[in-house]
Amino acid sequence: MYVGDDPIKLRDEIWYKQQELDRQKERLAGMQARCQHSWTEPRYDPIVTPGYEAGDEPGTMGVDYIPKHWVPQQEAPRWTRTCKRCGLEQETTRTKEDVRKVPVFQA
């Protein structure tokens, strides 16, 4: 469908394409829900918040004045895994302690 310079036709085309996109997203969600997932190894993918300068500008004294200071970069742990069959990607920031005993033999 050629839109040309007609805004009404353009709006209609956008609406139809949005409907098609929504149908395709629903179809993909259904396929991913039925998939017998085969996950890749989790990869460490931290959430990095860069450092920044915070505080009030000089000369803005007041009762709640906060002097300029540097807030260091912060890193929150996150892991990502992807299904090899359907491409579903999962992220998590949760962990659990896993303590194991491994036998050690004398040589």
- List 75's β-bridge partners, or say none: 48
Residue 41 and residue 90 share a domain? yes
Task: Tell me if 69 sits within 8 A of 21, measured CB to CB.
Answer: no
For the whole model, what pTM was predicted?
Answer: 0.63
* Predicted pLDDT of residue 3: 53
Domain membership of residue 102 (yes or no) is no
| Shared-domain flag, residues 27 and 74 | no
Count of helix runs (H) and strand runs (E) in the chain:
1, 7
Nearby residues of 52 by Cβ (< 8 Å), 6 or more positions away = 70, 71
Look at the chain and report how many structural domains it folds into: 2
Tell me the residue range of the domain where 28 lies.
1-34
pLDDT value of position 32: 95
Query: For residue 65, what pLDDT is reported?
Result: 81
Mean pLDDT, contiguous 10-residue spans, the chain (107 residues): 75 95 97 95 93 84 82 93 95 88 78
- What was the pLDDT predicted at 2? 57
Q: Tell me what pLDDT residue 5 has.
A: 78
Structure tokens at 66: 């906060």
Please check whether residue 44 is in contact with residue 77, taking contact to mean a CB–CB distance below 8 angstroms: yes
